[in-house]
Structure 1
Amino acid sequence: MSKEQLINLIEKKREELIQIASKNGLNSTIAIHYSQELDELLNEYNRVYIKKIAAH
Structure 2
Amino acid sequence: MSESILKKLEKTREKMIRSGIENGFSNVETIRLSKKLDQLLNTYQLQNVNDMNEYSINIDLIKQ
**SS of residue matched to 2:25:** coil
CA RMSD of aligned residues (A): 0.9
Report the Cα offset of residue 25 of structure 1.
0.7
In structure 2, the gaps of 5 or more residues are: 57-64
Higher radius of gyration, 1 or 2: 2
What's the counterpart of residue 6 of structure 1? Answer: 5
Deviation at 1:12, TM superposition (A): 0.4
- Which residue does the alignment assign to 1:29? 28
Distance of 1:30 and 1:9 partners within structure 2:
17
How many aligned positions are there? Answer: 53
Kindly indicate which of the two structures has a greater share of residues assigned to helix.
2
Identity %: 30
Confirm whether residue 47 of structure 1 aligns to residue 46 of structure 2: yes
- Superposition TM-score, scaled by structure 1 size: 0.86
